[in-house]
Amino acid sequence: MTSRSNEGRGPLYRIYINRLRRSLDPATVPQHVAMMIDGNRRWARQLGLDSAADGHRAGAAKMREFLEWCDDVGVRVVSLYLLSNDNVTKRDSNEIADLIEIIAELADELSRFRDWKVQHVGSTVELPAPLVDVLQAAQQRTSTNAGMHVNLAVGYGGRREIVDAVRSIISEHDQRGGSLEDLAESLTPETIGEHLYTGGQPDPDLVIRTSGEQRLSDFLLWQSAHSEFYFVEALGPDLREVDFLRAIRDFASRHRRFGS
């Protein structure tokens, strides 16, 4: 998988990359990085390509590279925002069909690469059955892997995730025969966190978004309460390893207070 951002990289670039890598303290590398890949369609338009699918394919290729960069510096969990609920219901049907095919190919490929553990996070309600099958197969295939944990946010919406978590809590409480008063008393942020799609995982330390856009777009709303954010001007397929390493370096320089 390649994109045009790989072109024209000479030995000086590699020297600089290696110097950046060596400057990173493993103790300051974020444990969980969330990536919002954005700008794929604009990238395709700027190059005069035939369709948005060309941009999405380039973006998917970049995500494979991005995961390798994360793994190589010691990140333990990566969450990729690939397809939102809003995308499914509001975008052109032909574009969504192309995206679904691209995401299925990516999920299958990632489940056969290195020792990564792939997990689908999101709702399957609006997703076509073939894509759900691929995501479930990727998750099952990698369930015993011990490498980096890769969350694929597909059919994902932060608000829906919170609603689904609360519904799950209510359902479990009802099955135990508890009262409404007991439920209200037992409801805590920790309880909700345990019932999210990412339950049991650390919250993202760092959220990165490409294309210069500075908004969350309904991604990991609950989990990112204390996350650091880093915005990159490059469009998704043009993201470079140096951009990523600078984001990690910038994160390491920040003083995180967690509300204190």
Q: Which residues are catalytic?
A: 38, 87
Beta bridge partners of 258: none
Query: Whole-angstrom Cα distance, residue 68 to residue 73?
Result: 9
Q: Which of 197, 120, 187, 215 is nearest to 160 (CA)?
A: 197
Residue in the block written with tokens 């490059």: 234
Strand, helix or coil for residue 10: coil
pLDDT at position 260, please?
62
Write the CB contacts of 83 (distance below 8 Å, at least 6 apart in sequence).
Answer: 99, 100, 103, 122, 153, 154, 155, 156
Give the global pTM. Answer: 0.92
Strand, helix or coil for residue 80: strand
Pick the CATH number of 29-157+203-251 from 1.10.10.10, 3.40.190.10, 3.40.1180.10, 1.10.3720.10: 3.40.1180.10
pLDDT at position 89, please?
86
Distinct helix (H) and strand (E) counts, the chain: 10, 6
pLDDT at position 255, please?
79
Dihedral angle, C-alpha 66, 149, 215, 95, nearest 10 ° = 70
pLDDT at position 259, please?
66
Write the CB contacts of 173 (distance below 8 Å, at least 6 apart in sequence).
Answer: 182, 183, 186
Task: Kindly write down the DSSP assignment for every residue of 131-142, as one continuous string.
Answer: HHHHHHHHHHHT
Q: Which residue ranges make up each domain of the chain?
A: 29-157+203-251
Each residue's pLDDT, cut to its tens digit, for the chain (260 residues) gives: 334 444 447 888 889 999 999 999 999 999 999 999 999 999 999 999 989 999 999 999 999 999 999 999 999 999 999 999 999 988 888 999 999 999 999 999 999 999 999 999 999 999 999 999 999 999 999 999 999 999 999 999 999 999 999 999 999 998 888 888 889 988 999 999 999 999 999 999 999 999 999 999 999 999 999 999 999 999 999 999 999 999 999 999 997 776 66
- DSSP summary character for residue 201: S
